[in-house]
């Protein structure tokens, strides 16, 4: 079930990868618990002193969500988003 909030739609962290194209770039992928939509956030790792927490969930603007068209990926995202939702508060630092 997609959680619609006043300030967006809550999406849960489902994947954290390093970019192959860019050095020092981490890609965070968040998804709705049904796995049907995703939100991608890119973060440069510029400094050891640059503290930016990664939380279990973020509230994304619905206009910034993409559709997950691949059935297997949708299932993977749904499984991971639901697991995160069950084991973490949305603002837990991961």
Nearest Cα to Cα of residue 77 among 10, 31, 39: 31
In a domain, 93, yes or no: no
**What predicted TM-score, i.e. pTM, was given to this entire model?**
0.84
* Cα angle, residue 18 at apex, residues 14 and 24 outer, rounded to 5°: 135
Token pair 């997950």 in the structure block, residue: 68
In the prediction, which pLDDT does 4 show? 55
In the prediction, which pLDDT does 37 show? 98
In a domain, 92, yes or no: no
Residue range 28-34: average pLDDT?
A: 97
Query: Comparing 89 with 45, which gets the higher pLDDT?
Result: 89
> 8 lies in which domain range?
3-87
Q: How many domains does the chain have?
A: 1
How far apart CA 18 and CA 20 sit, in angstroms, is 6
Could you tell me the pLDDT band of residue 58, with boundaries at 50, 70 and 90?
A: very high
In the prediction, which pLDDT does 24 show? 76
In a domain, 94, yes or no: no
Residue 1 clears pLDDT 60, i.e. is over it: no
In a domain, 67, yes or no: yes
């Amino acid at each position: 079930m997609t959680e619609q909030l006043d300030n967006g739609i809550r999406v849960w962290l489902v994947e954290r990868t390093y970019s192959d194209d860019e050095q020092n770039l981490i890609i965070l992928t968040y998804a709705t618990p049904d796995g049907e939509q995703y939100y991608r956030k890119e973060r440069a790792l510029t400094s050891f002193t640059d503290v930016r927490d990664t939380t279990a969930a973020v509230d994304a603007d619905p206009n910034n969500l993409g559709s997950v068209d691949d059935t297997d990926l949708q299932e993977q995202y749904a499984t991971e988003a639901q697991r995160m939702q069950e084991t973490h508060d949305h603002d837990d630092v991961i």
